[in-house]
Structure 1
Amino acid sequence: MNQSIRPRRSVLYMPGANTRALEKAKSLPADSLILDLEDAVAPDAKVAARENILSALESGFGYREAVVRINGLNTAWGKADLAFFANSKADAILLPKVESATQVLEVAALLQKMNAPSTMRIWAMIETPLAIFKLQEIADAHPLLETLVLGTSDLVKDLHARHTPDRIETQTALSLSVLAARAYGLYVLDGVHLSLDDETGLKLSCIQGRDMGFDGKTLIHPNQIVLANEIFGPSPEEILEAQNRIAAYDAAIQSGAGIAVLNGKLIEELHIQDAKRILALAKAISDREKS
């Protein structure tokens, strides 16, 4: 990662037109919030939604990361959305339907022109077939780009595919997105699980996303947060294993050996790097829970 590790296990979409939902978000255990001006807001409600989100940002969301999803710059609202939030307390701007580096560069240039704070980052929605083919150029577009967000619902629609329990219809796109994120030091978030009464399906989707390498999952309902936090966060067993790996490796190095063996498994430097990542994530989550 180019940045210090920040938990993004659960990233909840919140409609900007719903003031009650925005207020409730301040007490939810989500790591991050996507305050939405795009899909979740009707055209005649978009201007009012800007004011709702700005007011919520001013009062703050505590430790929760606040990201504003604007409308595309090619729409009637996009550039005004960006101007409205360029100097707000938002942590990042999420750009929908990114299909080229040019779109990311345009947002970065506009943020600079609008004197946005240097801490404000750009997130990019990856949700079309063309975006998948352009992943490398998008991921390498600009230093302000921090996170790729998979929009699997739009992607399935564009593919003329069907949602399946094992998500075979999007596995290629999911894997390529993780590869692009890791190649360029970005975070990457899995798409949503659409069924609100399907905890088993949500669990399987989270496990699959975690095992593929995603940092967390985007969510559409508060009831999905706890499960995502559990699955995308290190388990006590993983934390103990990471600690034991580091201890065994350090002991081996001090004795003059270049490798170590723990529970019959070879431990090399690459395993130590991953163990340190796990412990850093666990510490970041623990620190957050204490705050």
Structure 2
Amino acid sequence: MTSNPVTNGASAQLRPRRSVLYMPAANERALEKAKTISADAIIFDLEDAVAPDAKPDARARAVAAVQSGEYGNRELTIRCNGLDTEWGADDIAAAGAASPSAVVIPKVDTVEQVDAVSAQLDAAGASVDTMIWPMIETPTAMFNVRSIAAHPRVAVLVMGTNDLAKELRSPIVTGRHPLVAHLATALLAAREAGKVILDGVYNDVKNPDGFAAECQQGMEMGFDGKTLIHPSQVDPTNDVWAPGADEIEYAERVIAAFDEAVAAGKGVVTVDGRMIENLHVDNARRVLATAVAITELQ
């Protein structure tokens, strides 16, 4: 019995993106507050949260925020306006020059659109490390999500559940049963491509119980984290997507038992009466790597 080894650099390769908070880039107070919020990543939003006449100013503020060096270890991204809007190209050019961790692009339908954004980033002098986070929020995107996810410049898929529900003419209901099949399809594409995928936002900021239930659902489905619209949602999200003490302790025992069995030439390993196979060891190593990565981020 052999295992798939995890390198010592596993935690460095695994960047936590449990909580990814949208912050309106036109709001100077919000940008300042974002420096103190314990979100793993910030999306400086130039799209939905910004009025048309405020978009140029918001663009400048987002660029300044990315370049400020005042946000600690938070991953900083900029959500541009849509490719078919009068602001989209200028947003991508400005963001590319600022070289954030990524640009978030709404309503990406095809891999050709990802190619176009990548070319625009290159033309703007963006770092090769500036990635693209396409938002998956239309029926066309769902049909093309495998090719979008496989693009080499795509690091993260972002589910746009509000727009997807609108396009499908389905209500947003407790449990999200109208969307579950589509969420699962995008998850499959992300896992096939080895990419991160983020669950969509929860709209009712005054319903913490409903929010907690949706976080639990997203975590159990396999999402890597959740996009958020309010700072109050950050800490509960971080808790749901962080391994608990019991989970860490169990993972350590699984790995220790497996390594001991391999050293002794045993063919069968059990922990707490349960048979342990390679996949359980891989899961345990991911749990420990995630815990280490979260500690390093903090």
2:107 is matched with 97
Tell me the alpha carbon deviations over residues 128-150 of structure 1, each in whole angstroms, 9 at most, x when there is no partner. 1111111111111x211100000
Q: Which residue of 2 aligns with 1:281?
A: 290
1:246 is matched with which residue: 237, 247, 255?
255
Give the TM-score taking structure 1 as reference length.
0.96
Q: Indicate how the Cα distance of structure 1 residues 114 and 54 shifts in structure 2: closer, same or farther if over 3 A, else same.
A: closer
TM-score, with structure 2 as normaliser: 0.94
The aligned amino acid for 1:97 is: K
Asked if the contact 2:161/2:200 (under 8 Å) is kept, the reply is yes
Q: Could you say which residue in structure 2 is the equivalent of 1:235?
A: 244
For these two proteins, the number of residue pairs brought into alignment is 287
1:10 to 8, 19, 33: 19
Q: 2:53 aligns with which of 36, 44, 66?
A: 44
Local SS of the residue matching 1:17: coil
CA contact (8 A) 1:239 1:278 kept: yes
Separation in 2 of the partners of 1:123 and 1:17?
A: 21
1:86 alignment partner in structure 2: 96
Task: Report if aligned partners of 2:81, 2:105 keep a CA contact under 8 Å in 1.
Answer: yes
Per-residue CA deviation, residues 166-216 of structure 1 (Å, 9 max, x unaligned), is 110110111111111100011000001100111110110000000000000
Distance 2:124 2:94 in 1: 10
Say whether the 8 Å CA contact 2:94–2:124 is kept in structure 1.
no
User: 1:150 is matched by which residue type in structure 2?
Assistant: M
The one-letter code matched in structure 2 to 1:267 is: I
SS at match of 2:17: coil
Is 1:71 aligned to residue 81 of structure 2? yes
Query: Aligned partners of 1:170 and 1:258: how far apart in 2?
Result: 43
Does structure 2 retain, via aligned residues, the 8 Å contact 1:7–1:285?
yes
Task: Choose from 131, 134, 143 the match for 1:121.
Answer: 131
| Distance in 1, Cα, partners of 2:124 & 2:21 | 28
Offset, 1:89: 4.3
Q: Match of 1:197, as an amino acid?
A: K
2:297 is the counterpart of 1:272: no
Deviation at 1:161, TM superposition (A): 0.8
Contact 1:253 1:259 in 2 (8 A): no
Mean Cα displacement is larger for which, 110-119 or 123-132?
Answer: 110-119
Q: C-alpha distance in 2, partners of 1:131/1:259?
A: 45
Off by >4 Å, runs of 4+ in structure 1: none
Alignment match of 1:185 (pick from 187, 191, 194): 194
Tell which has more relative contact order, 1 or 2 (C-alpha 8 A, sep 6+): 2
Which residue of the partner structure matches residue 163 of structure 2? Answer: 154
| SS at 1:254 equivalent | helix
- Would you say the 8 A contact 1:234–1:282 is kept in 2? yes
Superposition deviation, residue 24 in structure 1: 0.4
- Report sequence identity in percent: 46
Counterpart of 1:260 in structure 2 is 269
